[in-house]
Amino acid sequence: MAAFMQVPVPAHRKERHFRLKDDLSLNLSNEELRERYRFGREGLTFISNLVSDDITRKTQRNHALTVSQMVMVTLRFLATGSFLQVVGDTIGLYKGTVSLIVSDVLTSLCNKRDEFIKWPRNVDETRGDFNRLSGFPNVLGAIDGTHVRIQAPSED
């Protein structure tokens, strides 16, 4: 029995696969990118370049997600309005990984807000301009957006 215990037995490991379920690459058509992430190739590239210094992983491992992939995971989460678990299951990542990615990308974007959001310097002049152009008194700014017509509820 002792002789049997001393024989080295090679460990049988299950082969590891690092394949994402969803195609997190820019190889999709512009229309498919817009359907999945609400941004086309140009927009995804712009956002990736914007946040790359903040979210690039400092690792030597082969399977770290690229900046573009992290941006796409975040945009998929925001575009679907779904849960981290569902987005992770769809893409093939753990919920905790998706949470870290979304947090890192959004923190980076929030830190860059002053580059894109500008407040008026002269409040009185801005109020006057809005009043002259549109007849709205005491307005300091406007937010660009999309109006979506909704059916009013029958109660409340």
**Per-residue confidence (pLDDT) for residue 22, from 0 to 100:** 62
pLDDT at res. 42: 94
Q: What is the pLDDT of residue 102?
A: 97
For helices 30-37 and 67-80, angle between their N-to-C axes, nearest 10 degrees: 60
Q: What is the pLDDT of residue 8?
A: 64
44 in Cβ contact with 34 (< 8 Å): no
The parts of the chain modelled with pLDDT lower than 70 are 1-23, 62
The model's pLDDT over 92-122, given as tens digits with 9 standing for 90+, comes to 899 999 999 999 999 999 999 999 888 888 8
- Residue 90: predicted pLDDT: 87
Residue 139, pLDDT score: 86
Please tell me the predicted confidence (pLDDT) of residue 21: 56
Asked if residues 66 and 90 have their Cβ atoms less than 8 Å apart, the reply is: no
